[in-house]
Amino acid sequence: MSADPAPAPKTEWVPQALLLAVGAAFFLFGARGFYLRGQFGWSDAVACALGLIPAGLFLLLSSYVFQHAKLVIVLPALFAVVTVRAYPAFGVALGLALAGIVGSALWNDRQDRRNPPPPISPDPPVSSSEEQS
């Protein structure tokens, strides 16, 4: 048995790159909606910021659906496309939420590699004098 610690798990880049690309597409689609409308004011910025809450809840629900019923993910995906088309603020918020999720996963992976947890040591043997007390 080797005394070398196990190497840190490598980051799965393909799913994260795919999520980042989808997030960028939602963000750009929402920004395009604001561009075509011809205005972007403080109320729109606040709507984008407040839209992060329902976007995060939507991603949580979509993740749950994807984990338990892969074929039904079509319905939340269709809902996302229709909602992003109708409300550009939701598209921007959804893109930022996806980018935040990927960024958080990358940051946590980086921190885990820089500061690995200490190895778990076996319990020391108990002496007979400690057993009696």
Residue 82 pLDDT exceeds 90: yes
Phi, psi torsion values for 38, nearest 5 degrees: 90, 5
pLDDT digits over 42-68, tens only? 999 999 999 999 999 999 999 999 899
- The pTM (predicted TM-score) of the whole model is 0.74
- Could you tell me which residue, 126 or 56, shows the higher pLDDT? 56
Task: Inform me whether the pLDDT recorded for 12 exceeds 60.
Answer: yes
Q: What is the mean pLDDT of residues 77-100?
A: 93
Kindly tell me if the per-residue pLDDT of 132 is higher than 90.
no
Q: Rounded to the nearest 10 degrees, what angle do helices 88-114 and 52-68 cross at?
A: 70
pLDDT(3) > 90 = no
Q: Is pLDDT larger for residue 120 or for residue 132?
A: 120
Tokens coding 131 = 């057993």
Look at residue 109 in the predicted model and tell me its pLDDT.
Answer: 81
